[in-house]
A and B are shown apart, each in its own frame.
Chain A
Amino acid sequence: MWSWVAHRITGVTIFFFLFAHVIDTAMVRVSPEAYNTAVETYKTPVVGVMEVGLVAAVLFHALNGIRIVLVDFWGNGPRYQRQLTYGVIGVFVVLFVPFVWRHLTNVFGG
């Protein structure tokens, strides 16, 4: 059940990110100065830390999405759903931990 709850939460999070992202990208046609200000804000450490959250949300949503496809279309998917959940968590950790290390050294190392 909790993978289902997390799937909803990360989905809505990504939706709101895309909403903001469409606005900031669209500003380049309306006002290039405003676009530049927005992109400058994105380079601050605060947004850098928020990006970690965004990558976590996208990564979990993508991996759990594959799990749901397997549960729907692979005959043995429902039987092994718990093992698939552990797989999702495993792949998530393997990809996410190196990313956080690399990303945060960039954000705070300059």
Chain B
Amino acid sequence: MDVTIKILRYNPEVSEDATWESYQVTAEPTDRVLDALHKVKWDLDGSLTFRRSCAHGVCGSDAMRINGKNRLACKTLIKDVNPSKPITVEPIKGLPVLKDLVVDMEPFFDAYRSVMPFLVTTGNEPTRERLQSQADRDRFDDTTKCILCAACTTSCPVYWTDGQYFGPQAIVGAHRFIFDSRDEGTDQRLEILNDKEGVWRCRTTFNCTEACPRGIEVTKAIQEVKRALIFRR
């Protein structure tokens, strides 16, 4: 079938303004949007720039705004985004666009780094694994699925307008360790997120939960951190 892909192009070396360009490609309904983007880049216009690495929904590098919703281009089938109309593809919002669909991810990674997304322990290291019951492991299972694609953070209206907000992903990253029974950095992480730009900025719009390509209940994780802060003592 013939599909029209409408892409928001931006090249700061040519023009300060982003412009919409339409491309006609032939694609199967079961092809992915990423396949259509490849056809544009390989056959029609080699200057089109976007990130993708694994192309199978694992690396999280091709998050983009497709038909107004944040998705992974490699996990979105053409037939699911109404191919009878032009399919719009834009860079994710709230991060500086570098070129076409490529954004500067550094502010996003900075927020992630600031919540200490690593195991914090004290005392001597054990000579074997740090064991954990199945129930303790299940407590934070949902937030271990995160692939840092930024689909949640860049779907958040609070993040769009408030550049200081940690964003949903950083809170998911903190949640993964806060509720891990082996970790001892919980108080530090909760203190970081108790900041006025921390979890309290969340207004529960649920955009992040709907955007997550891994099906993480992001807003639920944020609410759990809020409740941990309220009831911790």
Task: Give chain A nearest CB distance to B93 CB in angstroms.
Answer: 13
- Whether a CB of chain B sits under 8 angstroms from the CB of A1 is yes
Q: Which of A1-32 contact B (CB under 8 A)?
A: 1, 4
- Whether a CB of chain B sits under 8 angstroms from the CB of A81 is yes
Known contacts A1-B157, A72-B226; A78 and B220 CB within 8 A of each other: yes
B223 pairs with A4, CB closer than 8 A: no
Nearest CB to that of A82 among chain B residues?
B206
B 49-77 to A, binary, CB cutoff 8 A, 1 in contact else 0: 00000000000000000000000000000
Q: Considering the chains assembled together, what is the distance between the CA atoms of A68 and B204 in angstroms?
A: 8
A79 pairs with B223, CB closer than 8 A: no
Known contacts A1-B157, A71-B223; A81 and B217 CB within 8 A of each other: no
Q: Considering the chains assembled together, what is the distance between the CA atoms of A77 and B207 in angstroms?
A: 15
Q: Considering the chains assembled together, what is the distance between the CA atoms of A41 and B28 in angstroms?
A: 65
Task: Give chain A nearest CB distance to B154 CB in angstroms.
Answer: 14
Known contacts A78-B217, A79-B217; A1 and B223 CB within 8 A of each other: no
Would you call the interface of chain A mostly helix, strand, loop, or mixed?
A: helix
- Whether a CB of chain A sits under 8 angstroms from the CB of B85 is no
Q: Considering the chains assembled together, what is the distance between the CA atoms of A68 and B207 in angstroms?
A: 15
Residues of A within 8 A of B227 (CB): 73
Known contacts A72-B226, A78-B209; A4 and B220 CB within 8 A of each other: no
How many residues of A are in contact with the other chain, CB < 8 A? 11
Q: Could you say which of B157, B207, B217, B223 contacts A72, with CB atoms under 8 Å apart?
A: B223
Q: Considering the chains assembled together, what is the distance between the CA atoms of A78 and B226 in angstroms?
A: 13
A71 pairs with B204, CB closer than 8 A: yes
Q: Considering the chains assembled together, what is the distance between the CA atoms of A85 and B205 in angstroms?
A: 12
A 76-94 to B, binary, CB cutoff 8 A, 1 in contact else 0: 0111011000000000000
Known contacts A78-B220, A79-B217, A81-B219; A1 and B226 CB within 8 A of each other: no
- Whether a CB of chain A sits under 8 angstroms from the CB of B203 is yes
Task: Give chain A nearest CB distance to B220 CB in angstroms.
Answer: 4
B interface residue numbers (CB < 8 A to A): 157, 203-207, 209, 217, 219-220, 223, 226-227
Known: A79-B217, A79-B220. 6 other contacts (CB 8 A): A1-B157, A1-B206, A1-B207, A4-B204, A72-B204, A78-B217
A-B CB proximity, top 9 nearest: A78-B220, A4-B205, A1-B205, A78-B219, A71-B204, A78-B223, A1-B207, A81-B206, A4-B203
A interface residue numbers (CB < 8 A to B): 1, 4, 68, 71-73, 77-79, 81-82
